[in-house]
Amino acid sequence: MNKGSAVALFGLLTAGTVLSSCNKEGIVPGAPIPVTNTTTQNAVAVNGVMMQGFYWDTPISNTQGTWWQVLGSRAAEFKTAGFTAIWLPPAYKGGSINDVGYGVYDRYDLGEFNQKGTVATRYGTLAQLQSAITALHGQGIQVYEDMVMNHLTSADAQESFTYNGQNYTVWTSFTYPGRGNTYSAFKWHYYNFNGTQQAPNNGWYQWNAWDFQPYANNDAYDNLLGSEIRYADVNQRTETKNWGNWITTKLSLDGYRLDATKHIQTSFVNEWLDAVKGTRFAVSEAWFRNLTDLKNYASATGGRTSLFDVPLHYTFQSMSSGNGSWDMRGLQFAGFTESNPTLSVSFVDNHDTDQTGGALYSPVVNLKMLAYAYILTRANGYPCVFYKDYYNYNLGNQIKTLMAIRKANAYGTAFEYTSVDDADYYAYSRAGDATHKGLMMILNDGSTARTKGITSPFKSATLTDKTGNYSGTITTDANGYGNFPVQARSYSVWVPN
């Protein structure tokens, strides 16, 4: 849960550092430049693709049943499409059946206990969740759970106390009467928190120091929403690590998506990863628009966790907003994906950027498939496809085609064509290897079809656009030089026959 989710839940609004978009004026000189290829973290399949298996307001009731049953029923479909991992929404009890998971009430209630007026979570029951995971694992698909560790909400009772001469009456007592001591006897009280937000936009009651001072121009700060867990105290650190290990075993998890980590004491994030992650995969949501801030966070976490490439998302959003007027050379060596390829999870949109009214609402509306062509053919980064893009926005067939190209051809040395690219035309290639033929990916945000001569890695070759967006074939000479066309406002991936 990040700033956008917090707005939806508690009306918080914070500002991020704004990246300047490219314009049509600049000229980028240079020749084809090789891009370093590196592998991603442990537990990630070669050329793997993750799906974010939910969106902000997934229906509580679906044709297949609950959301867990939807995901389970599509396990074979995910496998056929080429997905190698699914990121699940927060699986534990929120404040009501309507809670999307980020308003956490009981992290040990996975849809098993009658609490907050329901046994099931928004997504279903524990049995349905375990059945879905079994189905996904049966198709060889890894499962990553969304770990919300910053806060709790919807307390069972108020507590009154005095701190530094000030009287407080706040909702901070979590005793879990519906679960009792099953799985954990730990109860939460005011002294386990630094402060709490009592209602949307009603400010904060604070009685302990926040766990860290704001940084990144105040873009990172402790208090996000609800009752903010005090990780300066060993008891909460131990309990949250115990919970991490418990849920890993309970659900046979292959990895984690850590929520809102820029609002959590960084030393504890590192401690948790050291105690829980092992050789599994982890990606953290540290929502920094500024690339330097994201790189600094990668340094502070010591490479323990991948990070979502937030700056790259905003690059795509600038391309979308430009809708043909943005300079496509802004895609060269873009984002965290190129500056730290081993730790980057690239994405186009997610539940927050797609959530109308949220603080992070920044959808890539125009030219979205150009963004997907970019992340799915790239040497660096671990791509994450948004469920709503694939299904609800009917981009699944095009994304599936790109994923098949990725699996068959996206290998070998990568090249940026800085001397070829212009304001509308962007080219990128993979040279292939001993068993894979490579590819040439072309993007065009302009209103007319374009063709450019490029010295490619493919000598004396005949190539076909495997996306089907451009018909016919093209040929290259003995030096690899050929003319690579692309339709208006479209993309092509040319592959040697």
Please tell me the distance from the alpha carbon of residue 272 to that of residue 407, in angstroms, as a whole number.
Answer: 33
Task: DSSP letter for 278, please.
Answer: T
The sign one gets for the Cα dihedral 4, 52, 38, 270 is positive
79 and 137 Cβ atoms separated by less than 8 Å: no
Q: What are phi and psi of 376, to 5 degrees?
A: -85, -10
The sign one gets for the Cα dihedral 92, 95, 98, 100 is negative
Please tell me the distance from the alpha carbon of residue 453 to that of residue 146, in angstroms, as a whole number.
Answer: 46
Residue type, 24: K
Q: Which residue has the tokens 């009280």?
A: 189
Task: DSSP letter for 328, please.
Answer: G
Candidate list 219, 285, 338, 422, residue with the active-site label? 285
For residue 88, what are the β-bridge partners?
A: 145
Q: Which helix (H) or strand (E) holds 475?
A: strand 473-475
132 and 111 Cβ atoms separated by less than 8 Å: no
490 and 469 Cβ atoms separated by less than 8 Å: yes
285 has catalytic annotation? yes
Please tell me the distance from the alpha carbon of residue 192 to that of residue 316, in angstroms, as a whole number.
Answer: 41
Q: Beta 151-152 vs 142-147: how paired, if at all?
A: unpaired
Q: What are phi and psi of 35, to 5 degrees?
A: -110, 135
Candidate list 259, 327, 352, 421, residue with the active-site label? 259
296 and 322 Cβ atoms separated by less than 8 Å: no
Residue type, 460: S
Q: Beta 450-455 vs 481-486: how paired, if at all?
A: antiparallel
409 and 436 Cβ atoms separated by less than 8 Å: yes
Those residues whose C-beta lies under 8 Å from the C-beta of residue 312, and which sit 6 or more positions away, are 334, 335, 336, 337, 344, 346, 347, 375
Active site residue ranges: 259, 285
